[in-house]
Amino acid sequence: MLECRATLKRLLATISLTVALIPLCFSYAIGQSIDKKKMAEQVKAEFLHSWNGYKQYCWGHDDLKPISKTCRDWYGTTILMTPVDSLDSLYLLGFKKEADETREYIVKNLSFDKDITVQNFEITIRELGGLLSAYQITNDKRLLDLADDLGRRLLPVFDSPTGMPYRFVNLRTGKTRDPISNPAETGTLLIEFGTLSKLTGKPVYFDKAKRALVETYKRRSPIGLVGENINVETGKWTNTDSHLSGGIDSYYEYLLKSSILFDDAECQSMWLDSISKINTYLADENPKMAELNRTGATTAGDLWYGHADMNTGKRTATTTGALDAFFPAVLALDGDINRAKMLQDSLFKMWQFNGVEPEEYDYKTGKTGNAGYPLRPEIVESTYYLYHYTKDPKYLAMGKTMFDDLVKYCRTDVAYAGLKSVVTKEKTDYMHSFWFAETLKYFYLLFAPEKTLDLNKVVFNTEAHPIKKTWK
Ligand code: DMJ
């Protein structure tokens, strides 16, 4: 009887392992047949389709609203959000003539001497990052001058009692507002401001952004987590929810990436401490699958990262979403390929659940929360990193599935539109500049020849602007 039970157990274990491996083998087989060259050309064609739509209806404005074919300027007057955010992509995807014309337009028409109050985080990652990266690609000093002018106008944000930045600043008067911020906005500045220092020889940019990052880290809880909202005047947390999603996400990304870009030992130690706490308190792993993963039998999941209270470590929610999908890329960059693969598999399941990923998804119940999809790049970014590090063709297959889904559901007659709901596939009247800066760039790099850009030689800012370390 006992022997019989043991044989049955062994049989069941073999069956479950085989079942777990089926999707892996299947995707490998699909991956084998992906024509990278053809895919890269398709990505370029869709980039051009979107770019021509922007140009036809909104040239000179910030963003295109692709359904109404009208335009949006973030602050009532243009700061050329789409051209600046797209410029390095135009060069990388090989649209040199288009890129050169756009560059000329930017240097002739972009002025930051405007009486507008802008969000420091968004302007830093999209405009400062875009100008710096395009400067490194073209050597056009006028782009660096624009970046320097912008950096100087943003600097007053750091004049808070803690050194953590206010969220908004007036570009002409330097007047700041909104002290209630979050780690993403206080800690996602060092790649851009630090690079500006290195390229202009003005240390003030690096010093202020580094201090903001360190001051955020210093306020971590006794168990080593950060919360969702912090008051930059008092240094007190106003929301203690801890997670990897919007409001926190790129703070962690910049701890790791700044340590690499600037050879910064302090950033490295802050990152090492943080990642161990993230894996202790935020990671949520199905124990059975975890065991199979550890034995190398599969990477089929289930690893997720949920929410926990920053002080107690107690699980507060089992939700994740499109923004969280940056994390496999960060894990891979950090060398934790095993976790990166597991998490990517989980997040791809989230994508497949509705055919496009939602803003919010409960990995315990399988329910979609906020069902919007504003053309986000993060899961594509992670697919690109994982393909780069593993060369496993299953990531090409994943990329193709996602690309085909977006062509199917988000393409309009003139460009691309986000989705109001990934469930109903109803479109929204907006095309964010990160569609050009990030989503299409990462798709292209996934399929393009290796020599297009050496990931080992650049650090991408959180808006996918590649920065080369050209300094000692
Ligand atoms: C981008 O602006 C950046 O990637 C940021 O870090 C998060 N949100 C968008 C894309 O989803």
Selection from 277, 276, 127 nearest residue 189 by Cα: 127
Q: Mark whether 249 is an active-site residue.
A: yes
Taking the C-alpha atoms of residue 374 and residue 24, their distance in angstroms, rounded to an integer, is 29
Token pair in block for residue 468: 């080369």
Name the CATH topology of 112-317: Glycosyltransferase (1.50.10)
* pLDDT computed for residue 17 by the predictor: 35
Residue whose Cα lies nearest atom 10 of ligand 1: it is: 376
Q: Mark whether 101 is an active-site residue.
A: no
* pLDDT computed for residue 201 by the predictor: 98
Asked if residues 206 and 189 have their Cβ atoms less than 8 Å apart, the reply is: no
Residue whose Cα lies nearest atom 1 of ligand 1: it is: 463
**Amino acid code (one letter) for 363:** Y
Choose the catalytic residue: 73, 101, 122, 207: 122
Query: 250 in ligand 1 pocket by Cβ < 6 Å?
Result: yes
Token pair in block for residue 228: 């969702």
**Amino acid code (one letter) for 101:** E
Atom from ligand 1 closest to the CA of residue 184 = 6
With left for phi above 0 and alpha for psi between -120 and 50, is residue 73 left, alpha or beta? beta
Beta-carbon neighbour count of residue 169 at 10 Å? 26
**SS3 state at 65:** strand
302 upstream amide cis, omega within 30 of 0? yes
* pLDDT computed for residue 333 by the predictor: 98
Beta-carbon neighbour count of residue 469 at 10 Å? 15
Taking the C-alpha atoms of residue 220 and residue 207, their distance in angstroms, rounded to an integer, is 21
Token pair in block for residue 82: 């789409």
Q: Are strands 361-362 and 367-368 parallel, antiparallel or unpaired?
A: antiparallel
3-state secondary structure 158-225: HCCCCCCCCCEEECCCCCEECCEECHHHHHCCHHHHHHHHHHHCCCHHHHHHHHHHHHHHHCCCCCCC
Taking the C-alpha atoms of residue 468 and residue 157, their distance in angstroms, rounded to an integer, is 26
Asked if residues 306 and 369 have their Cβ atoms less than 8 Å apart, the reply is: no
* pLDDT computed for residue 160 by the predictor: 98
The Cα-based distances of 71 to 53, 82, 429, 430 in angstroms read 11, 11, 10, 9
Atom from ligand 1 closest to the CA of residue 246 = 7
With left for phi above 0 and alpha for psi between -120 and 50, is residue 180 left, alpha or beta? beta
Strand partners, 237: 230
Query: 463 in ligand 1 pocket by Cβ < 6 Å?
Result: yes
* pLDDT computed for residue 102 by the predictor: 99
Choose the catalytic residue: 127, 378, 405, 463: 378
Helix and strand totals (H; E) in the chain? 19, 18
Selection from 145, 175, 131 nearest residue 157 by Cα: 175
Report the separation in Å between the CA atom of 161 and the middle of ligand 1, taken as the mean of its atom positions: 28
Query: 462 in ligand 1 pocket by Cβ < 6 Å?
Result: yes
Kindly list the averaged pLDDT for each block of 10 residues, start to end, along the chain of length 472. Answer: 42 38 44 87 99 98 98 98 99 98 98 98 99 98 99 99 99 98 99 99 99 99 98 98 98 99 98 98 79 55 91 97 98 96 95 97 93 98 98 98 98 98 98 99 98 97 98 92
Atom from ligand 1 closest to the CA of residue 464 = 4
H-helix segments, 201-286:
204-218, 249-261, 265-277
Alpha carbon 333 to its chain's center: 13
Residues written for the chain: 472
Residue whose Cα lies nearest atom 6 of ligand 1: it is: 462
* pLDDT computed for residue 445 by the predictor: 98
Strand partners, 231: 180
**SS3 state at 63:** strand
Report the separation in Å between the CA atom of 463 and the middle of ligand 1, taken as the mean of its atom positions: 6
Selection from 210, 214, 213, 186 nearest residue 198 by Cα: 210
Report the separation in Å between the CA atom of 394 and the middle of ligand 1, taken as the mean of its atom positions: 25
Selection from 389, 382, 367 nearest residue 323 by Cα: 382
Q: What is the per-residue DSSP string for 6-42?
A: HHHHHHHHHHHHHHHHHHHHHHHHHHHT--HHHHHHH
Asked if residues 429 and 66 have their Cβ atoms less than 8 Å apart, the reply is: yes
**Amino acid code (one letter) for 234:** T
